Structure 1
């Protein structure tokens, strides 16, 4: 059996005092996620792996949190391609920060963080301005 990798994390919008702006950003983010491939059609990112609270109330106060997770067969060997797809998705979303956890059987746990340098990213900005921090924890092997 090949080694399994678990990838999970979240993408956070920024809180805004103006309800109309928050609703527009959430609606745009929902449309982008709905356009992701589903079923057998996604090698790295697919619609099924993303979830979010749709309406204000329980789980959604001011900041939209898009959470995601999936298991892969040894995705760390194609990690550069996974990150490339994830960053392409980030370019299309409204967000302030994102974190991705990669748990591997052979190479331990890694955490990747993206933070918009301006405090928020809008799809109209074009280029992705961010910092990516790589952290490595100990191995999962016993």
Structure 2
């Protein structure tokens, strides 16, 4: 059987400002996700792997907009830097307060990547992104 990698996580946005500003940030994030390609070049980062809630309580958003995503890959860890570059390009276009990506691999263990914005909220633009990685390996040393 081929090596499978699972990638999943979420992008959280707690909007600030008046009702019009909050609504505009929700709409912007939704539009950025919808503009992702339906079929992408390897390693895939495509629209189908994302789920964006509605803008109100009944649609899945009380205060924080939580955009979640997930996908199964064949050994994506070998192209991980390329995947991260695509993901960070996406983040640069969005409003968010934090983002988390979990990478589960059969050979390299589990990795968690966390992005936190330097200010109250990241706004679309080219500011540098800060990421930290946590690694966990299951099993005993032989």
What TM-score comes out, normalization by structure 2 length?
A: 0.90
Query: In 2, distance between residues paired with 1:55 and 1:26?
Result: 7
Determine whether 1:103 maps to 2:104.
Answer: yes
Is the contact between residue 6 and residue 102 of structure 1 (CA under 8 Å) also seen in structure 2? yes
Query: In 1, distance between residues paired with 2:57 and 2:123?
Result: 24
The answer for unaligned runs of 5 or more in structure 1 is none
Query: In 1, distance between residues paired with 2:119 and 2:53?
Result: 25
Deviations 1:89-136 (Å, cap 9, x if unpaired)? 00111111100000001111000000011121111xx32333211101
Query: In 2, distance between residues paired with 1:129 and 1:41?
Result: 25
Deviations 1:61-100 (Å, cap 9, x if unpaired)? 1111100000100000000000000000001111111000
Aligned length in residues = 138
Query: In 2, distance between residues paired with 1:116 and 1:93?
Result: 12
Matched residue, 1:9: 9
The answer for unaligned runs of 5 or more in structure 2 is none
What TM-score comes out, normalization by structure 1 length?
A: 0.90
Matched residue, 2:88: 87
Determine whether 1:20 maps to 2:20.
Answer: yes
Give the aligned CA root-mean-square deviation in angstroms: 1.7
Matched residue, 2:54: 54
Query: In 2, distance between residues paired with 1:35 and 1:108?
Result: 32
Is the contact between residue 4 and residue 106 of structure 2 (CA under 8 Å) also seen in structure 1? yes
Runs ≥4 in structure 1, deviation > 6 angstroms? none
Is the contact between residue 50 and residue 68 of structure 1 (CA under 8 Å) also seen in structure 2? yes
Determine whether 1:132 maps to 2:114.
Answer: no
Matched residue, 2:118: 117
Query: In 2, distance between residues paired with 1:98 and 1:62?
Result: 16
Determine whether 1:67 maps to 2:94.
Answer: no
CA positional deviation for 1:17: 5.4
